[in-house]
Copies of this chain bind each other. A is one copy, B any other.
Amino acid sequence: MKKKIAILGASGYTGAELVRLIATHPGFEIAALTGERKAGQPMAAVFPFLRHMDLPDLVRIDEVDFAAIDLAFCALPHATSQTVIKDLPRDLRIIDLSADFRLRAPAAYEKWYGKPHAAPEIQREAVYGLTEFYREEISTARLVAGTGCNAAAGQYALRPLIAAGVVDLDDIILDLKCGVSGAGRALKENLLHAELSEGTQPYAVGGTHRHLGEFDQEFSLIAGREVQVQFTPHLLPMNRGILATAWLKGDARQIHAVLSQAYCAESFLQVLPFGTVPSTHDVRGSNFVHIGVVGDRRPGRAMVVAALDNLTKGSSGQALQNANLMMGFDEGMGLMAPPVFP
């Protein structure tokens, strides 16, 4: 029998992406979709691309019968998520796609998000959702915290290298190129087509992007010492995709060997032949990550480049992969569709 799921916050891009992916998943059935401001509307009115599907109308969260739900995806805005999850049944299994439960330490949360956490006791229980590195914990978790999309891209490029000690931990630079859907369906001037197409600029400069909190937490944990990377994202005229260019000090061949070894058994993590670089075009709409390693003319310098789709592997695809683990399904179920190119 299919597992019944609810998607809270189904009127945003990550919520819609979950519906898209679950549409062809044999093990899940969408039992409830919520959207506070759009409650009462059919999903086809909010996302006409889902018109052909037989979906429940959007309702308010308090209208959902959670007793009939096996798993809830929470695709609500940051800060809202923690106040909603606090009041959900304590035995409901939840995958949260917001930033609210990614940082384990209350102080870290407060530092990066500017106020105390509203549900610190739940915060402690959350498992960090980077599937390939937290499989065991995720499969038994009650609450999984989906990672930041930039945080996912950077970690796929770097975690095995930090663990293996093959790069200089004090000199990691992450220059990210990001598609606009990562900012959500938000009415902001800088997200307008007229402001964005045919040009690029950095944002969240100066070491202020909140995904740094995730990098700090995870990389320091792996290294057993404090690691602080330099990271600045750039907004690109493309809807989907993150290209993470990591500038590193280390031996490029060794780096390639470590990544190849670490990911050789992973379905979704594809390490390219040495010297080959990925393109976001080649992962669009899919759960795959392409990772390339190149050296430099100067020995001891290397570049690792990782490409993923922020809405899929960086968010909703990752969430579904985790849901598969939590429900005992094959981890890749419903996620093997190739990218859409061109």
**A residues lining the B interface (CB < 8 Å):** 13, 16, 19-20, 23-24, 47-53, 171, 173, 175, 177, 179-181, 185, 187-189, 191-203, 205-208, 212, 228, 230, 232, 234, 236-241, 243, 245, 247, 267-268, 270, 272, 275, 277-286, 288, 290, 294-298, 301, 303, 305, 307, 336-342
Beyond contacts A50-B338, A52-B270: 6 other A-B pairs, Cβ-Cβ < 8 A, are A198-B240, A199-B241, A201-B279, A205-B277, A205-B303, A337-B337
Q: Which of B51, B207, B232, B234 contacts A290 (CB 8 A)?
A: B51
Stoichiometry, as copies per complex, reads 4
Kindly provide the distance from the CB of A216 to the nearest chain B CB, expressed in whole angstroms. Answer: 10
Q: Which chain B residues border A243 with CB–CB below 8 Å?
A: 200-202, 234
Pair A52/B277 contact, Cβ less than 8 Å: no
Residue of B nearest to A187 (CB): B187
User: In the complex, what residues of B have CB within 8 A of residue A275's CB?
Assistant: 205-206
Alpha-carbon distance A179/B173, docked complex (angstroms): 23
Taking a contact as CB atoms under 8 Å apart, the answer to whether B189 and A185 are in contact is yes
Pairs across A and B, CB under 8 Å, 11 listed: A16-B341, A53-B338, A173-B247, A192-B192, A193-B239, A199-B241, A200-B238, A201-B281, A236-B237, A237-B237, A247-B247
Contacts of A234 in B (CB 8 A): 177, 243, 245
Q: Which 10 A-B pairs have the closest CB atoms?
A: A207-B297, A201-B279, A199-B281, A194-B342, A49-B282, A187-B187, A49-B341, A199-B280, A175-B175, A49-B339
Cross-chain contact B294 with A201 (CB below 8 angstroms): no
Q: In the bound complex, how far is the Cα of B222 from the Cα of A340, in angstroms?
A: 36
A23-B208 contact given A49-B282, A247-B230, CB 8 Å threshold: no
Q: Which residues from chain B contact A336 at a C-beta distance below 8 Å?
A: 23-24
Contact partners of A212 in chain B: CB under 8 A: 297
CB closest chain-B residue, reference A51: B270
Query: Known contacts A187-B189, A192-B191, A279-B200: does B337 contact A24 (CB below 8 Å)?
Result: yes
Report how far A213 CA is from B339 CA in the complex, Å: 34
Complexed CA–CA distance, A16 and B202 (Å): 23
User: Given the complex of chains A and B, what is the CA–CA distance between A28 and B283 in angstroms?
Assistant: 23
B280, A201: Cβ atoms under 8 Å?
yes
A307 contact set on B, CB distance < 8 A: 201
Residues of B near A23 (CB, < 8 A) are: 336-338
Q: Please, which residue of chain B has its CB at the minimum distance from the CB of A280? A: B199
Residues in B with CB closer than 8 Å to A341 are 16, 20, 47, 49
Are A202 and B305 touching (Cβ within 8 A)? yes
Interface centre among A48, A267, A283 (most CB of B within 10 A): A48
Q: In the complex the two chains form, what is the Cα distance from A303 to B231 in whole Å?
A: 10
Contact across chains for B199 and A237 when beta carbons are under 8 A apart:
no
Residue numbers in B under 8 Å from A236 (CB-CB): 177, 200, 236-237
Q: Contact: B298 with A230, CB < 8 Å?
A: yes
Complex Cα gap A238–B208 (Å) = 27
Q: How far is the CB of A319 from chain B (nearest CB, A)?
A: 17
